[in-house]
Amino acid sequence: MKIYQLLKRGEYHTDFCEDFSVAQAVSSSVVLCAVLDGCTMGRESHFEATLGAKILRKVIKERQYRAFYGEAATGPGLERELREIMVEVFQEFRQMRNQLLLDTSELLTTLVIALLRTDTGEVYGMALGDAVIALNGQIMRFEQHNKPNYLAYHLGQDVDTWYAHQKQIFRATSCSDLSLATDGIYSFQPINDCSPTEPLDIAQFLLVDPELAERDEMLHIKVKRLENRFSLKPTDDLAIVRVRLS
């Protein structure tokens, strides 16, 4: 198994990258992958995605500790486990809002999250907001027309009611190549007057194409190739997590 991650500041964002990525083992056979995209119109939007990533890591570590000491058993199946994780994430966001006296505008981040069983290739995930996912070479795009239904809008609701209304779900029973990306993957533009002489499918190139898969820095090399050979750079921030099981 190889895990590749990329975090790239877009050309239109001069100070901070507002995206974040997470790849962390949940157990010996389950990996959590996630990408987050802070809302540019929010307040200090780089903070929102970073906070979301830190909350995810905290939730996973605490679940690992509880499982190690026999205080909690892992729910049967990835769907059940992802639900348990998202309920804890929701509650942590609510707690951070109250402890730090944060406004809703300080918590606006998309969240694309998936659980992957490394022994069987089973995948179960959800997208809270805009996202691009590739499962075994098939690219799916969740597009909310720049009006993502952020988790932060629902922190005053009952968590079970909120979760039951989530529709942007993706799954696979046998996946050998999984990619999650923020919508910055569609923001590549020429950085000078030189445009590519042939059409390029950048999402296919970064999320599906197996070239350089033996290199841990595969995504970084490919982004550099887009810049050096084709004068293309992302104008929006970009976060990618890609996992190949074979």
> What local confidence, expressed as pLDDT, does residue 191 receive?
80
Is residue 227 a contact partner of residue 3, using CB atoms and an 8 Å limit? no
> What local confidence, expressed as pLDDT, does residue 199 receive?
74
- At residue 36, what is the residue type? L
Rounded to two decimals, what is the model's pTM?
0.93
Q: Give dist(CA 231, CA 196) in Å, integer.
A: 8
3-state secondary structure of 61: helix
Q: Note the CATH architecture for domain 2-244.
A: 4-Layer Sandwich (3.60)
Q: Which residue has the higher pLDDT, 28 or 115?
A: 115
Mean of the pLDDT values across residues 81-97?
A: 96
Domain ranges of the chain: 2-244
Q: pLDDT tens digit string along 181-236?
A: 999 999 999 887 666 656 789 999 999 999 999 999 999 999 999 999 888 999 99
> What local confidence, expressed as pLDDT, does residue 115 receive?
98
Q: Is 81's pLDDT higher than 90? A: yes
Q: Is 237's pLDDT higher than 90? A: yes
